[in-house]
Chains A and B, each alone.
Chain A
């Protein structure tokens, strides 16, 4: 058996509980590498919980219990050979509400590399520029890198968060409803960025916007009540779903 390509995520019989509340129930899902996968489903169905299982970033105060397994390139993300900090560098995450640090644009993007690498100034500059370019933000901020990140617009801040994650050179990028607080134009910019990125990064996006899932993603997974209901190519899933519950959800009859 050949080694799986970089950035391949999978879960096997993944269940997750918050105290007594079960949020995921035996989810087995393979995420296509170097493609965009969308996770859709009604609110509270466990989308965020699933996404957070991939980089083991569970909600901070929560009493979380997990069973089953999550693998990155075939190796368990809980393996002792993979410290959780390294896992999170390789599996980046962007949140629904943009979360720039209260420092400059430059320092935001440099935050990840500074944590792990001892870099010459020029090398760090290069990493920051490349990350900003990949997030299609460079042209807008190249003359104001020292300005506070919070002066940027919402859409720009969200792309800054994408750039910040990219500066770590991740194999996978997880996004939890990244556009739900943005206007259509800002949303489109982010979709364009993700579309470019899919060539070298595996992208998993949780979205409540079904059109977004349909037009952006290669594959879609439908979660309902913590269970994986259907998973397949988006073109097929949105036009001729196999499962009645998928059809009910995407035609708006529940959720």
Chain B
């Protein structure tokens, strides 16, 4: 178990995040946000702001910074601020004030007077359901609705009619914001070579592409740097408004500019998780075998319809071996801040609904919910003949039930003093993906190595993984390997998205290591080199041949070289035509509800995961534990509350509740260790998101077990559990 390599820097405050960078002559920018949800900006009176002390520039749709439309292959279109007078949501960036100091910029920003022509805004998910639209086809071209029927079955309704036991219920989940500790921020510095932007993001190459497009310069003139990222969770994939504005203002003013969102601005001037409504219908026989499943989903989306939270396709296609399946996904465009990827997009809210419904079916069948799940274990996604490469979900349940003491659970829960105590369980699945990645390995004359790629470690542990896999691939101790991330000067790879970074980058590390060792051996036996004419091999960081050996550092020094580098690249291949790939887990939790005042508190939780090879147990455990805490948060705390006018009512960390330490008990995480080498040579699958997937349903199911109250929305709050 290896400790996080960047931990000492982080806990001593030495890790420099984007906004920690300072330059001589730097100016500070502060954003102005809209205070209506829909309409047109008629005028902006900036006279007072312009004449406020220290102000260098006040930018608005009437006096914009030069920014161009942005579209990239990876992320599609990304909105750039100040380019027109239209307001599509409350809290949209509509102005940017730059001054000598942060305080001056903030003060002047508050002096800007905006006149609007307001239009009626659609802000209610409930009202919008009636006019919901079909979601656009997903990336692989599959349509938003899907029906898979057993031979001879005419319709899904016929399958339900033939099901002896049917449960049907509608669930909903609240809009959320990533609320990462590090607000979106950037420092931009222009020089002869172009612009350098220091800004936390999920992959330096994404930032380069978007900034280059926005600034109208070639990508070679944009240098993106983000060695440390204070949390991303999907919310820092796209370039942020402060980054676009800082880069453009720095160019306009000819001096470095720093800009950061204030905490309350983070809740609107970025993007968050959609609200969802999901209707589940499950049909089974008396033994619990699923005959038919139907999962109809609605999600909110911004008026630009830029993101779909795919709750039904992301879960019900894969969880259970049903003979008949109908899925649909609709979108409800609203005048609310944009939605985007957020840890387990689709899977997390989708699994709350599906895994609650399965619990309801278990109750209807009077069957243990684990038994019901095991009876419907799937070997391949419904309607696909590609079997999972490696699936040990049943073992997750068996191991988990034993560790958790599931046998002690009764269908009525139990009491402990003034607390009603219940246990809940849910399955978790997350697809195992991989993205193309390139990694450079440099062997240095001091016998250390550097492993570098452009992606990021927003707390995931990727830096540590690079050092471990680098050490293993080079057959040297990991502490001789310096991992480097977060700089577009490095080869593109290791993007922090889709729980792919470890699998993608590690494979490239192995390939780069093989290459650099080959090159090293080539150098060793070249004419005039120490091993000329003898057969050479590599082991333990040394070149061996002719009965003697030199470390790679000694060899490089003998050859008068400082270093030797090679780059390795990997990309997903034809494995996806042969198998389906996923990580799996069984999640357990115990909830206590106070008999009198009805607070629900999680008192124990366990996750057992089948997620391929675990490269570093310590950071992997942290990832999963963090995900499980996210799930508790979704279940009991987190909701961004939009008012009818589109304004979020709780846009700060005192009002937008996430759990504090006192809400979180000890977390038990257990990994089954089945390397999945059909997926990639390292055998690792993703663990970044799966920890959150099953948690909310496990909590809700435990609440039901404790109280007999089935709450079909999250977060579950005290008033849901008050019965008089």
Asked if chains A and B come from one complex, the reply is no
**Interface set of B (CB-CB < 8 Å, partner A):** none
